[in-house]
Structure formats: C-alpha cells, structure tokens
Amino acid sequence: MQANFIKHPGGAFVPASDEDKEFADKIGAGEVVRLKFTRMRNYQFFKKWHSLVRLAFDYWEPPELPDDPEKPWMKEVTPQKSYERFRKDITIRAGYFYAVYRLDGTLRIEAESIAWGSMTEETFEK
C-alpha cells in the first residue's frame, strides 16, 4: 500500500490527506515499517486528479445486475462499489492501458500506472 506524507520542520512526516491518515492509523505506535521514498513532481496536480475521480465515484451508481439464465450463480453475488476499480476504469477510458491474455486466451485490458516512476509529468497532465 502507498500513502503520501509531507515532511515538517524537525523531521516529522505527516499524512498528506485523510486517506493517507487512515493508512498511517493502521500502523501501531512503536511498530517498525519499511518505507521507500519517492519525491513527487506535482503533488497539487495529483491531488486535483484524485479529487475529481473521487467526486465522480461518489456520484456514480453502478447498474443492477441483469438476470442471466446461463449464470444462475449471479443471483447470489452482491458486487461492491470499488473506488480502486473505478479509478482504473477512468484511466482505461482516458486511453492509458495495455492488453494482457487471461488463462483462457481471452484479452483483458489493464490500466497503466499513474505512479510517478511509471508515467512522465507531461503524460500525467494530459
């Protein structure tokens, strides 16, 4: 899992958002964790992007599952509304994806990573 932190005077790292604070709260006092630091290029733009995606997710309502006689087990499935899946689908619809094969030979589209090490600033700002 990843979270963003802001370094304050005196060396303390403070969670950059409420979501980052939730992550930090899961770490117990005195617990040792390993961190890998990455300097962010444009944190304000990154925050804006995530805020817009979060706003869209909050307003989005998934459709009801249709009855499918070929898949009776679907009646017992209750899909969850997932921010992570929504974010990936937005990235794919924006044209940032790659294709992979599944075990059965069908194609699956995966979202490209928007992490700083994976995408240039110019590409991210598009």
d(CA 122, CA 58): 28
For residue 98, the model assigns a pLDDT of 95
117: left (phi over 0), alpha (psi -120 to 50) or beta: alpha
pTM for this predicted structure: 0.62
Structural domain tally of the chain? Answer: 1
Domain assignment of residue 61, given as a range: 38-125
| In a domain? residue 80 | yes
| In a domain? residue 1 | no
Residues 36-84 have pLDDT tens digits of 777 776 778 878 888 999 999 999 998 887 777 777 777 787 788 999 9
Residues 106-118 have pLDDT tens digits of 999 999 887 655 6
Residues 59/62/63/69 CA torsion (nearest 10 deg): -170
| In a domain? residue 3 | no
Q: Is the pLDDT of residue 121 over 70?
A: no
For residue 89, the model assigns a pLDDT of 96
The residue among 47 and 97 whose pLDDT is bigger is: 97
Would you state the structure tokens that stand for residue 39, as one six-digit string?
């300097």
| In a domain? residue 56 | yes
| In a domain? residue 62 | yes
